[in-house]
Chain A
Amino acid sequence: MSLQAGSAVRIAPRAGRRRWLERRFLPINKLLQTKWMQQVFPKLLWLVVPLQYYHARQLPAGFNIDSYLPSAALVVVLVASMVCVAGIIAMLYPRSKYYYDAARSLISSMLGTWAFALALVCLSLELTRWRYARPSDVVENFLCLPEPAFCMRAVCDSKWMHPLLVYSVYALTGAVLLTMLIHGCARIKAARNEDFRPLQEPNLFVVAIVVAVLMTFFQWLITTGG
């Protein structure tokens, strides 16, 4: 049996949570299998540098406009911490024969999801800034009103759950967009990688939640102290 692009290895059906976790939604194999995608996508990650600078500048208590060096240092810290966290999680998930394969799969999924989520956050800030002369977060404005609904009050009033909820929406949307983009790009006929070895693809929700937690931590890192 030969492995086709994006095909999943057949496994026996398992029950409940385990089966849910093993549903591989983020099509990393499709990305790695096509030569041009494997070359272009990692280069696109450089876009997080200006995006992160823009985001850190728009946050309340964020960076000053001339903080170029701290912004560059921040991106290095953020990418490094994302790689470290993904590396630790990869010891447990996704289950793979080789640790390196699991880590590679999770790191690329998380970095891609983070880049998309960050782009969406910046898009929201820029569109509202253009429309209302002051940036604001459309997801936050939608979920947490100044007088939130009863069911949302506990989350909106929580110091950590509030940003986590907002970033979860962005991270989940980012992961879905990344998935759609990979599927769309995979339709283009192109040369395949000769040395391609299929990886265990991580679950989209797991990736989105981990990225949202990290983005919450990044926000705290940017805005804390003084």
Chain B
Amino acid sequence: MRMKLFVAALLLPVSAGPIVAQTFDEQAICSAVNKPGLFYARSQPPYQFWPVNGTPLAYDRDARFVLITTPVPSRQGRDYEGVWHVRSQTVAELSKRANKAYVYRPPVKTRCSRDVLPAFEGGDRLVTLTAYLDHHLSDPDHPRQKNYDLTRRFHMPIQDVAANDCVWTDDDKAFDLKDTYGFSDINRRDLDSAFEVATTVVPRAYGLTVSYQGLSSQFAYRDTPNGVCVSFASPIPTGPVPRGGWFSNAYDDAMQAAAAWKPKSTLLVIKRLEGRRVVPVTSKTIVWADR
């Protein structure tokens, strides 16, 4: 009996990890909002929503940013696909500097992809910040190898209607990757791997005064850019957070930490990709109401 209790106590931290269900019905949220613009909407009924217009918003880890575009009559010939990239950089109180970034796009089949492209699953959505920055050429003087998973599970091939060909959204010849996907005010050289930290005698002095506690980079895809509704996840802490259990995944841990998170402001930048052309949609600083 004692032995059983001992084994149960050992296994408790493994099994009692937080089960964070972030299920939402995007269609229902879009129907509730049902007007063009950028909104912050709760993901559960009755789907309350607020316009993103500068007034302070109440943070909810499960809420979604919803972008609804105006319907435009289709032009002659085939239109571009609707490809939006959203980057968020959040400053929060009492949490550690982000060393990862929440990176996600749902599984997608584009006009140019052969099959459905997979998405990052669970904990893999929190990508090491250095890997993300290196993939997007954040230190252009010292370009590094691309990260295969970021190409396959985050980026996608899209159609360039004008050039009548296909281009991957992380093609460094077609796009200025740093400008399009990079995080502003974050210097790659300020970031070290765990091994570098462990074997450096003198800790590195950070060059920048701004520090972000939550970083995210997300894609949304529709076959057309007009009259559609897309949604993006709310910011979450992407710095070191307490572990939920021995085998808990990083995303569940971040969601657990987000419950008590106190974000102050978020820089939200939305761009649309029209083939090789990057069109700025909006850039807003969201102020979060005190929790």
Contacts and interface: CB of A to CB of B under 8 A. Distances in A.
A59 B144 contact: yes
Contacts of B192: 64, 67, 226
A144 B191 CA distance: 29
Contacts of B196: 63-64, 67, 70
Interface residues of B, number: 41
12 contacts: A60-B147, A62-B130, A62-B193, A63-B195, A64-B188, A64-B191, A64-B192, A147-B114, A221-B195, A225-B197, A226-B128, A226-B197
A136 to B, nearest CB: 6
B193 A135 contact: no
Contact of B199 (A70, A135, A225): A70
Interface string B181-192: 000000011011
B67 interface: no
A73 interface: yes
B195 A224 contact: yes
B56 interface: no
A35 interface: no
A111 B256 CA distance: 45
Contact of B145 (A58, A67, A133, A147): A58
B200 A69 contact: yes
B279 to A, nearest CB: 24
A140 B148 contact: yes
Interface in B142-173: 142-149, 151-152, 155, 157, 168, 172
Interface of A: 57-65, 67, 69-70, 73-74, 125, 129, 133-137, 140, 144, 146-147, 156-157, 159, 162, 221-226
B142 A57 contact: yes
Contacts of B199: 69-70, 73-74
A73 B193 CA distance: 14
B130 A61 contact: yes
Nearest to B239: A226
Contacts of B144: 57-60, 62, 134-135
Contact of A135 (B143, B157, B168, B200): B143
Contacts of A135: 143-145
Contacts of A65: 142, 189
B193 A144 contact: no
B193 A223 contact: yes
B205 to A, nearest CB: 13
A73 B118 CA distance: 37
Given A70-B199, A74-B195, A226-B191, A129 B128 contact: no
A220 to B, nearest CB: 10
Given A67-B196, A74-B195, A147-B115, 12 more contacts: A57-B142, A59-B145, A60-B146, A60-B147, A62-B193, A69-B200, A136-B146, A144-B148, A146-B152, A146-B155, A226-B99, A226-B194
